[in-house]
Amino acid sequence: MSHSFPPGDAAAVPTDVPVAGPPGQPPSEQGRFSRTLTTPKIVFIVVAAAAPLAAMVFTVPLSFALGAGPGVPALYLCAGLTLLCFTCGYAAISREVRQGGGFYGYIARGLGRPVAVGAGMVAVVAYNAVAVSLVGAFAYFARDVAAAHGLRLAWEVWAALGLAAVGVLGYRHVELSARALAVFMVGEVAVLLALDVAVLVERGASALPAASFAPHQALAPGAGVSVMFAFASFIGFESAALYGEEARDPGRSVPRATLVAVLLVASFYAFTSWITVGAVGADRVRATAAAHLGDLYFGLGDRYLGAVASTAMQLLLCTSLFASWLALHNAANRYLLVLGRDRLLPGRMDALHPRHRAPHRASVVQTAVGTLVAAVFAAAGLDPFLNMSTSLLGLGTLGIIALQALASVAVLGFYRGRPRHWWRTALAPALGAAGLVAATVLVLANFPVLTGTSAPLVTSLPWLLAAAATAGTGYALWLRTARPRQYARLAGLPGPTDRIPAQAPPPDPSTAPPDRTAPTSPSR
């Protein structure tokens, strides 16, 4: 990264100190994030956010028991194809918009600033809700796994240890998080692949039953519930766009990482759930999953890999939850920073550590929020998983899926009047939007199933997202009238209009009238 200074000032401005530009403007080349992330590192971050092992242990058994039973693998594949359509448009716009901001930045360019500010506020609520939900999930299972091996500590102790570790890693440069997430992700994927191979070796072709893809199984009663759980299992992969300002080549790394992440996660979920149907039996998988739920995969690990591997799976479940927590903590931090940059949140959020080049203040704020929520649940004597984790995870999942749907619509808006590809920027985002709107409706309709409770306090949580969207949109409309200069700079847009106009072709010099004011060269 090169830097240039006025004569005599080169020694006066250290190159390692962040220097912010005007509010709302994208960061200058000097003084903001270090561009060190490559495509593989971004893939590790976003796949870890999806928590493959935790999703298989918690979500898939519920989908078998309450949803389509043996048809679950087909519905995971359908969800993956829908998100692949979403990714085509998402990747296309990420090549055009290379600054950070994720949904906020893309929606601003496709649907205008007011909608984008509302979406940005929803993103803050949703990503923070998922991150805080993982405080409870990690503490709950770390307590149980440790107790099974003789170490008995209260869940509050595990929550405090996790908050400290995530807070420190989030305070440091994202490279450190990427290395830790790579180790955790490889471990959790490896143990599940080992289980898949063991089942294939023992059962042969019967490990891949054709019944899972029979239409009458995939469309069986409860299919909507399975579709909802399938989309919920992908949460986090879309966060690659938040690292555009930290990627070495954002025009290539961000779209590639997003595409690779959705392909890896979709194929992994579909294949492993298919193997699970073969291991248990298509005619027994629904009843077996209902009887065992979270212990289903540990039982399969005991049977096919042995007790040592099953113990390793329990430990890796804890690291999977920790990795997802860390990845989503980093994602939420970047939303806080970008909205602080535009003064939609306190401007102090728009700060990077002078040495670590990380959004350290945002990390401290989010760690404090997680600590406060955990303390409230602990003081009330509530369960960290059944009360704290499931309710907040349901809230965050709904918000992120709704934002994915809105982002697909934004892609269509961005390319209206611009040169577009019939698939990448037209049909694919339209199909993705349709599928994601349907998924949003399914999550809303089945919110008590997703959260595991019908308590009115929990079932009313989606209104928080509606309130955030309304408040953000209303505030942007007020800014347009009361503070037009600040409004004009929101999301780094280049002018005062709500939409970036299509680029006009340059004038043809051969048809331009002669410039009568230009000086003529003296004849020689």
pLDDT per residue over 408-449, tens digit each? Answer: 999 999 998 888 888 989 999 999 999 999 999 999 999 999
Half-sphere exposure of 119 (CA within 13 A, CB side): 29
Read off the amino acid at residue 271. Answer: F
What is the band of 237 on the pLDDT scale with cuts at 50, 70, 90? Answer: confident
What is the band of 494 on the pLDDT scale with cuts at 50, 70, 90? Answer: low
Instruction: Output the pLDDT for position 492.
Output: 75
Tokens matching residue 152: 């008995």
What is the band of 99 on the pLDDT scale with cuts at 50, 70, 90? Answer: low
Tokens matching residue 415: 């390319």
Q: Is the pLDDT of residue 295 over 50?
A: yes
Q: What is the DSSP-derived secondary structure letter of residue 323? A: H
Tokens matching residue 177: 């998080």
Q: Is the pLDDT of residue 515 over 70?
A: no
**d(C-alpha 23, C-alpha 493), whole Å:** 12
Instruction: Output the pLDDT for position 374.
Output: 94
Instruction: Output the pLDDT for position 362.
Output: 92
Q: Is the pLDDT of residue 16 over 50?
A: no
Instruction: Output the pLDDT for position 144.
Output: 92
Of 19-23, 420-424, 513-517, minimum mean pLDDT range: 19-23
Instruction: Output the pLDDT for position 343.
Output: 93
Share of residues in the chain with pLDDT > 70 (%):
87
Residues 6 or more apart whose CB falls under 8 angstroms from that of 91 comprise 254, 255, 256, 258, 259, 424
| Closest to 135 (Cα-Cα) out of 483, 384, 412, 453 | 384
Q: How far is CA 446 from the centre of its chain?
A: 21
pLDDT in tens, 154-212: 999 999 999 999 999 988 888 888 888 888 889 999 999 999 999 999 999 999 999 99
Tokens matching residue 22: 């005007």
Task: Specify which residues 415 forms β-bridges with.
Answer: none
**d(C-alpha 292, C-alpha 306), whole Å:** 18
What is the band of 352 on the pLDDT scale with cuts at 50, 70, 90? Answer: confident
Contact 264, 43 (CB under 8 A): yes
First CA to last CA distance, the chain: 47
Instruction: Output the pLDDT for position 100.
Output: 65
Whose structure tokens read 């509050």? 156
Q: Is the pLDDT of residue 508 over 80?
A: no
Tokens matching residue 279: 């291991």
Region of 406 (left: φ > 0; alpha: ψ -120 to 50; beta: rest) is alpha
Instruction: Output the pLDDT for position 520.
Output: 41
Please provide the average confidence, as pLDDT, over all residues in the chain.
85
Q: What is the largest CA-CA distance in the chain?
A: 98
Half-sphere exposure of 222 (CA within 13 A, CB side): 16
| Closest to 263 (Cα-Cα) out of 71, 83, 72, 73 | 83
Instruction: Output the pLDDT for position 504.
Output: 45
Residues 6 or more apart whose CB falls under 8 angstroms from that of 109 comprise 93, 96, 97, 410, 414, 491, 493, 499, 500
Q: Which helix (H) or strand (E) holds 454?
A: none
Read off the amino acid at residue 332. Answer: A
Domains of the chain, start order: 39-498 (1.20.1740.10)
Contact 442, 139 (CB under 8 A): no
Q: Is the pLDDT of residue 393 over 80?
A: yes
| Closest to 451 (Cα-Cα) out of 414, 396, 505 | 396
Q: Is the pLDDT of residue 10 over 80?
A: no
Residues 6 or more apart whose CB falls under 8 angstroms from that of 264 comprise 43, 47
pTM: 0.85
Q: Is the pLDDT of residue 523 over 80?
A: no
More confident residue, 266 or 518: 266
Please give the torsion angle defined by the CA atoms of residues 262, 82, 399 and 239, in that order, rounded to the nearest 10 degrees: 20
